[in-house]
Chain A
Amino acid sequence: MKGTLIVVAVFAAGCLAGWSGLADPGNFGWAVSDMTMYVLYLLIFLVGVSMGCNPELKKILKSVSPKVFLLPLATIFGTLLFSALVSMLISGWGVLDCLAVGSGMGYYSLSSVLIAQYREASLGVQLAAELGTIALLTNIFREMFTLVGTPWLLRWFGPFAPIASAGVTAVDVCLPVIIRATGDRMLPAAIVSGVITDFSVPLLVSFFCSLQGG
């Protein structure tokens, strides 16, 4: 929860700086707009490195029954399917936009900046920033929904439900809540699901963004 607050605070500080005119994106010019693109590549590279050098990864992948890997697949598939379905209810954004937002899987910080940066070329700065904001809010809401709704999800949909709903956060923010509700036996499933969906976020977000040219 502390992490979420920091993210919201940083984002809000940026909003205030922009709103008050303290920082003017118009003055950033070409150099900075190019630079943020490089920062995006740096970020993605670092995310890759952190996955590659994770010592836990091999251990976890070896120790769990292969069937458990179906859980993150079901999570990703269900999220994408329903995101595509509700895109019909959402005016102004296409299916691919909604799929990119849904692909955040609860990883709000990464998905929002990825979308805002990567769609800037095809949508323009303003719309890209709007879609980035939607991604930020959507995935924060998803985390909150899981934190609050875990007991209810467990009762009505079984022990996999809160893990699926948590998406990426099954392995960090939501893990304590999930384990307290479901018991220790769901620990491997939560970790596998969180790690695999974590891996899918940058892949899927950039996939759906690049389908629209960028």
Chain B
Amino acid sequence: MFYLILTMFAGVAAGLLMRKVRALAHIGKAISATIFIMLFFLGVKIGADKNIVYNLSTLGIQALVLALAGAMGSVVFASLLYRFLFRKGTDN
């Protein structure tokens, strides 16, 4: 069930062990390339499914609601945190 998380920690361990390896400086590019491949195929699945294409405006509105909720939720708690723990006395 949590194999994915396990895989990530295996990656972290591998990264810590191989910190000296020069090639790893380019790992960001490998990640981007992998993401682009998966994004392309996500697009293929969506484009091939006429239902999703017709639903795109609904999905967009749902996404807008979730985006505003997520952003504002974090903003509310971050501003409370700043007000009560950081503003008085010296910052940082």
| CB-defined contacts of B62 to chain A, threshold 8 Å | 90, 93, 134
Q: What range describes how many residues of A lie at the interface?
A: 35 or more
- Bound-state Cα–Cα, A64 to B18, Å: 25
B34, A134: Cβ atoms closer than 8 Å: no
- Bound-state Cα–Cα, A35 to B30, Å: 17
Q: Does A157 contact B (CB under 8 A)?
A: yes
Q: Using a CB-CB cutoff of 8 Å, which residues 33-77 of chain B contact chain A? A: 34-49, 51-53, 55-56, 59-60, 62-77
Name the residue of chain B whose CB is nearest to the CB of A205. Answer: B4
- Bound-state Cα–Cα, A74 to B77, Å: 5
A48, B9: Cβ atoms closer than 8 Å: yes
A159, B11: Cβ atoms closer than 8 Å: no
- Bound-state Cα–Cα, A36 to B44, Å: 13
Most buried by B among A10, A46, A146: A46
Report which of A42, A102, A132, A135 forms a contact with B34, defined as CB distance below 8 A: A42
Interface of A: prevailing SS: helix
Q: What range describes how many residues of B lie at the interface?
A: 35 or more
B82, A98: Cβ atoms closer than 8 Å: no
B18, A53: Cβ atoms closer than 8 Å: yes
| CB-defined contacts of A13 to chain B, threshold 8 Å | 40, 43
- Bound-state Cα–Cα, A123 to B62, Å: 18
Report which of A51, A90, A157, A188 forms a contact with B11, defined as CB distance below 8 A: A51
A44, B7: Cβ atoms closer than 8 Å: yes
Smallest CB-CB A-B distances: 8 pairs: A48-B11, A14-B43, A52-B15, A82-B73, A18-B47, A164-B78, A137-B63, A141-B67
A residues neighboring B (CB under 8 Å): 6-7, 10-21, 23-26, 36, 39-55, 65, 67-68, 70-71, 74-83, 85-86, 89-90, 93, 98, 101-102, 105, 109-110, 112-113, 116-118, 125-126, 129-130, 132-139, 141-142, 145-146, 153, 157-161, 163-165, 167, 185, 188-189, 202-203, 206-207, 210, 214
Listed by A's residue number, 26 A-B pairs whose Cβ atoms lie within 8 Å are A17-B44, A41-B3, A45-B8, A49-B18, A50-B15, A52-B12, A52-B13, A52-B19, A74-B77, A75-B74, A85-B69, A86-B65, A125-B45, A126-B51, A129-B49, A130-B46, A132-B42, A136-B63, A137-B64, A141-B64, A141-B68, A157-B79, A161-B78, A164-B77, A165-B71, A167-B70
